[in-house]
Structure 1
């Protein structure tokens, strides 16, 4: 039977028409989906900006239902759950993203980072650590290591913290030498508490190697030597602190004076402390000088001079103690100085404080300017409460 080409001529337009009609139907459906999805998305964004988080969540869920393949909507919804403290729901959203096989690598890494944040906020530190470790060699590697460093500090896992800080420094994320020194000092403190003197010594040595000018390793090393009765070595160690971190020397000033007395080096220590005090006057250095100075008149002069240079309540108490010890009275000039110091110290306490929010004011308010509460100010100054 011969093929009739007339049927072909009739069939081609018909097939074309059906194809065109099908494409128009698909196009209209696609447009409807695209219109409904952004509408729900922008509705959720508007609600979020107006701090209506419950309604915003509902809008984002609606947007996700209209367009379940859009990862940005999932991220917005998951982050919103996390901000509200609904960590379990946030985890489910981000785990759903990770389970998708069509998710691009960059989006997968982003979802892994969001999941790690969910675990951290939820207090699931073990799972957070595993999630952050999975981000090694990704675009989030530095952020993950910083988060891991915080985790290790919180859990006091100092060896892991040292390793992570070293990786961060090697990756160019900044200098972590000071923090690494602190981690070694913590290990030294733990070893000392367990009675492991050699381990403590090694940890302090590593701390000083990590940050030669850090104050804490030098302070701890000197204290350790002083406890062992090696006061001469302790003085030498703290002498290094005096050179590299003079502002921190006040932390051990009185211990330095005690070791100087035990080692029979009072004149030398007094001379060094006087030179340092001239550059960095402070109450702690003053107390060390008073401890080493045997002359009562000289001690009183030191206190008076210090009050002229740097008025403080601690120095006033020292002057009063010195007068009581000598059974003497304050001179007129000393009384004027004491009055000046106490007036300045009392001024911040001569204020009213709101019992509801803690807002302080010099004048009494019936309604707190801070929290708008009525009758929340006790009718007494802070120093009377």
Structure 2
């Protein structure tokens, strides 16, 4: 049977027409999807700006479904999940990005950094450490090192923290001397808890060499020597602090006076404390002087003079205790209690970085985790 070529003349135009129609339909669908995806994206952005995170997430999910190849939408969605504390969903989004074979290296590094942040916020420090380590040699390396520094501080891995801080300093990221000195002090305290005073002394010496003006190493050394009964050596450690950081000597003034009493060096210590008080009057120095010269009349005279120089409720309260004999038995406790209640909020230390207040002096702020952010004076004297 011969093939009739007339059918070919009919089939070819028909096939061409069907193909053209299909392409037009596909083009319209593609254009509609491209139009819908930005619309959903901008809708999500608008909801996010209006702090409607739940609806913003729904809009971004809709945008991702319409355009699954757009990495920016995935990053926006993952960051939203992390901000809401939905770390598992954030991890899934960023792991999905990393699994894509068509992702450029810059976007892959960005996804790796976002994944590390997810693990860190979720408290999965082991996985966060590995994720940040994978960023070595990328544009995110310095950010990863800073995050690792915070991670090692939280997990109290002081040796690793010191290594990272040294690396950051070598990269020109700023001075980390104070932090490194505090890490050495933490390691000294760990050695001291194991009764290894020699190792503790080595760490404290290293801290003083690394940051001579850092008060903590001098204070800890003085306390350690005093516990061992080496009071003259403790006084020398406190005197070194006075030379290196006079403002911080308030933190060691009482310890210096106690060691002077134990070593029989009261006149020398009294002269040093009085000289420092004349330069920088404070209640901490006044209390230390009172330990060395406890005569009531001398204390009253010093408190009265302090009120003239530095008016404070703390000095007034102490002076009242010395003058209670002039009040009746009923009046004295009432006035004393009122003053104590009024002065208590002022007898605190306040973090200069975040404003966290505490009755105790902290070398690292419990609120913002900043190192040595507490001034060595109480709120009343700031």
Name the TM tier (shorter chain). 0.7 to 0.9
Counterpart in the other structure of 2:269:
269
Deviation at 1:283, TM superposition (A): 0.5
Counterpart in the other structure of 2:369:
none
Greater alpha carbon shift after TM alignment, 16-25 vs 139-148: 16-25
The answer for unaligned runs of 5 or more in structure 2 is 1-9, 347-382
Greater alpha carbon shift after TM alignment, 103-112 vs 140-149: 140-149
Q: What is the distance in 1 between the residues matched to 2:233 and 2:343?
A: 43
Q: Structure 1, residues 21-45: CA drift from partner, whole Å, max 9, x if none?
A: 6665554343222111111111111
Deviation at 1:12, TM superposition (A): 11
Counterpart in the other structure of 1:167:
167
**Structure 2 contact 212–244 (Cα < 8 Å) conserved:** no
Deviation at 1:297, TM superposition (A): 2.8
Q: What is the distance in 1 between the residues matched to 2:120 and 2:344?
A: 44
Pair 1:212 & 2:208 matched: no
Greater alpha carbon shift after TM alignment, 63-72 vs 259-268: 259-268
Q: What is the distance in 2 between the residues matched to 1:75 and 1:158?
A: 33
Counterpart in the other structure of 2:280:
280
Counterpart in the other structure of 2:31:
31
Q: What is the distance in 2 between the residues matched to 1:165 and 1:343?
A: 44
Deviating 4+ runs (over 6 angstroms)? 10-22, 346-349
**Structure 2 contact 314–343 (Cα < 8 Å) conserved:** no
Q: Structure 1, residues 121-149: CA drift from partner, whole Å, max 9, x if none?
A: 11211111111111112111111111111
Counterpart in the other structure of 2:231:
231
Counterpart in the other structure of 1:154:
154
Q: What is the distance in 2 between the residues matched to 1:296 and 1:62?
A: 79
Greater alpha carbon shift after TM alignment, 49-58 vs 212-221: 49-58
Q: What is the distance in 2 between the residues matched to 1:322 and 1:193?
A: 41
Counterpart in the other structure of 1:131:
131
Counterpart in the other structure of 1:317:
317
- 2:252 aligned counterpart, secondary structure: helix
Deviation at 1:345, TM superposition (A): 4.1
Pair 1:40 & 2:43 matched: no
- 1:221 aligned counterpart, secondary structure: helix
Greater alpha carbon shift after TM alignment, 116-125 vs 311-320: 311-320
Q: What is the distance in 1 between the residues matched to 2:177 and 2:345?
A: 39
Pair 1:71 & 2:71 matched: yes
Q: What is the distance in 1 between the residues matched to 2:254 and 2:126?
A: 44
Deviation at 1:262, TM superposition (A): 2.0
Deviation at 1:295, TM superposition (A): 4.4
Q: Report the TM-score when normalising by structure 1.
A: 0.78
Counterpart in the other structure of 2:96:
96
- Trace 1:323-342 onto structure 2 (pairs within 5 A): 323=323, 329=326, 342=339
Q: What is the distance in 1 between the residues matched to 2:151 and 2:343?
A: 42
Q: Structure 1, residues 18-71: CA drift from partner, whole Å, max 9, x if none?
A: 887666555434322211111111111122222222222221111111111100
Task: Name the CA shift for 1:124/1:314 in 2 (closer, same or farther; >3 Å).
Answer: same
Deviation at 1:14, TM superposition (A): 9.7
Task: Name the CA shift for 1:347/1:105 in 2 (closer, same or farther; >3 Å).
Answer: closer
Deviation at 1:316, TM superposition (A): 2.7
Task: Name the CA shift for 1:184/1:43 in 2 (closer, same or farther; >3 Å).
Answer: same
Counterpart in the other structure of 1:178:
178
The answer for unaligned runs of 5 or more in structure 1 is 1-9, 350-385
Q: Structure 1, residues 315-338: CA drift from partner, whole Å, max 9, x if none?
A: 2333244446xxx548xxxx9xx9
**Structure 2 contact 112–131 (Cα < 8 Å) conserved:** yes
Deviation at 1:244, TM superposition (A): 1.5
Task: Name the CA shift for 1:347/1:155 in 2 (closer, same or farther; >3 Å).
Answer: closer
- 1:135 aligned counterpart, secondary structure: coil
Counterpart in the other structure of 2:242:
242
Q: What is the distance in 1 between the residues matched to 2:19 and 2:48?
A: 43
Q: Structure 1, residues 101-160: CA drift from partner, whole Å, max 9, x if none?
A: 110011011111111111111121111111111111211111111111111111111111
Q: What is the distance in 2 between the residues matched to 1:143 and 1:253?
A: 40
Q: What is the distance in 1 between the residues matched to 2:98 and 2:282?
A: 58
- 2:238 aligned counterpart, secondary structure: helix
Greater alpha carbon shift after TM alignment, 268-277 vs 98-107: 268-277
Deviation at 1:179, TM superposition (A): 0.6
Task: Name the CA shift for 1:343/1:118 in 2 (closer, same or farther; >3 Å).
Answer: closer
Q: What is the distance in 1 between the residues matched to 2:309 and 2:63?
A: 68
